A and B are shown apart, each in its own frame.
Chain A
Amino acid sequence: MANIADSIYNMRLLDDLARQETVIHKLHPLVKLLTTVSYLTVVVSFGRYEVAGLLPLFFYPVMVLALAELPVKPILLRILLVSPFIIGIGILNPVFDQQTFVLAGREFSRGWVTFLSILLKSGLTVTAALLLIATTGMDRLAGALRILKVPRVFVLQLLLTYRYISVLMEEVARTLRAYSLRAPKQKGVHRSAWGSLAGQLLLRTFDRAQRIYEAMCLRGFSGEYHSGEINKICRWDWAYLGGWVVFFILARTYNLPLLIGSLLTGVIR
């Protein structure tokens, strides 16, 4: 049960990180959002056999991680959290893909290449999304979405879901604690109690959500979520966005590793 209580604390880590004041944190949230979206587009646009082309794109998350002074371990841990799903999606590719290729004298299924490309792509995209939240914070991100004229219902949905996760988890932690205290010899929850436990939880969460909503209304909430002022986009913000977009386009159109490789070998010759 301690795990759930711990994870409530851990969950807010990204928000805590987002409160730092580094070069990246100070950038306009809209600029960071657009950079991330263009990064995701480029990463996803690579074909399923193009693994080498993805390599230069590692440069972006590494740079952001370094400039934003973010701790690497917690970010990596969060990427690992989603890895079972990714492996689940890609693991059958080597079996289904009948084509083969030869590497170091041995024959491999080309499915391994697609599996690797799925792993890399998902790793990169998840990292980019995490970095966006860890350098911007949910509130400011919502502000950026509103600047993009995303309907406020959607933005609010996103924000409140994010808020209520912790509410739900607290209820779960409390219910499980009460259960485990009266069922000391059981491991986990017995299946006979699953239904009522889940039902109770749902009802309690409704209640709680209702009270929180009332508290919001009593303080003048009318559907628009104000998360403080967001500064205007300055020249440096545009430069950041422009720089990265140019880099992404270069990485997409030219095979950068090959170019650099041939440049180096050319120099050596």
Chain B
Amino acid sequence: MSHHKLEVRNLHFNYPDGHNAVKGMSFSIHHGESVGIIGANGAGKSTLLMLLMGVLFPSQGEVCVGDVQVTKKTLPMIRQRLGMVFQDPDDQLFMNTVYDDVAFGPRNYKLNEKEVEKRVLNALEVVGILHLKDRAPFKLSGGEKRAAAIASVLSMQPDILVMDEPSAALDPKSRRRVMELLRSFKHTKIVTSHDLDMIYEMCDRTIVIKNGEIAADGVTSEILVNAELMDACGLEVPLALQNCPVCGSKK
């Protein structure tokens, strides 16, 4: 299934103020992979996601989804394949009810109302908030909002799920629930996060970004334990792999 492949070739991006946020990144992500993108604040993670989604366009290089290059012309098709969950669910939920919010995408693709209903109910059921379908999104709790935001993307049945900090601002139980949920999504996943424990558990592959460049790209279990690399990139080894906080003994 080649259309699940995502390829980035020699990507460069400059902000209008001259800041060079992405400098020559290249990688490709294949069907079914779950990839964590990590890096310090300001390393270029969010810019990279915006470039993948076609919200920003590269000043040099290209992004291809399947065999199609991301350009203004191909955007509608690209966006049907790539679903993105925003860091702040409030940015994503803007309709009157959770149902309408989840239905927003499918309706934009002119599906008939029966199909829309089927997809919405299915997506809400998958994330476990079917009972909240008639509630106003701004009245939900943080975890519920996140679930609704994920449902609003799942209802579009994307081939590739892109998530910006999916576990940010969640309590431990909600975080665990979101992780279970994402694990059940069998297609390609791209996750950026500072929650390295989550990346360690969820992603097989990790790309480390430093100052707009790829500092490392490889198997998560090898990269995240590399204390020297992590330190150089403004990161740390996941808490679960650090010394015991009580006795200080190595794990």
Contacts and interface: CB of A to CB of B under 8 A. Distances in A.
A57 interface: no
A228 B103 contact: yes
A220 interface: yes
B53 interface: yes
A166 B138 contact: yes
B55 A218 contact: yes
B214 interface: no
B51 to A, nearest CB: 13
Contacts of A12: 96, 136, 138
Contacts of A222: 76, 108
Contacts of B55: 214, 217-218
A220 B80 contact: yes
Interface in B52-99: 53, 55, 75-76, 79-80, 82-84, 86, 88, 90-92, 94, 96-97
B96 A137 contact: yes
Interface string B80-124: 101110101011101011001001110111100100100000000
A220 B136 contact: no
A211 B91 contact: yes
Nearest to A8: B138
Interface residues of A, number: 30
Contact of B100 (A16, A167, A215, A227): A227
A16 B139 CA distance: 12
Given A19-B134, A211-B86, A212-B91, A228 B100 contact: yes
Nearest to B107: A226
B108 A215 contact: no
B152 to A, nearest CB: 7
A191 interface: no
Nearest to B112: A229
Contact of A219 (B100, B105, B116): B105
A220 B108 contact: yes
Interface in A99-157: 137-139
Given A8-B138, A211-B86, A219 B94 contact: no
* A15, A138, A215 — most chain B CB neighbours (10 Å): A215
A226 B108 contact: yes
B91 A208 contact: yes
A146 B134 CA distance: 25
A219 B136 contact: no
B203 interface: no
Given A139-B100, A226-B108, A220 B79 contact: yes
Contacts of B86: 211, 215
Interface string A14-26: 0110010000000
B199 interface: no
B156 interface: yes
A208 B83 CA distance: 20
Given A139-B100, A222-B76, A163 B94 contact: yes
Given A8-B138, A208-B91, A228-B107, A218 B100 contact: no
Nearest to A221: B108
A222 B76 CA distance: 9
Nearest to A214: B55
A216 interface: yes
24 contacts: A8-B138, A9-B139, A137-B96, A139-B96, A139-B100, A167-B94, A211-B86, A212-B91, A212-B92, A214-B55, A215-B86, A215-B91, A216-B94, A217-B55, A218-B53, A218-B79, A218-B83, A219-B105, A219-B153, A220-B76, A220-B80, A222-B76, A227-B100, A228-B100
Given A212-B92, A222-B108, 19 more contacts: A12-B136, A19-B97, A137-B96, A139-B100, A167-B94, A170-B138, A211-B86, A211-B91, A215-B91, A218-B55, A219-B104, A219-B108, A219-B152, A220-B79, A226-B104, A226-B108, A227-B100, A228-B116, A229-B113
Closest 9 CB pairs of A and B: A220-B108, A219-B105, A226-B107, A211-B91, A229-B113, A215-B92, A15-B96, A214-B55, A220-B109
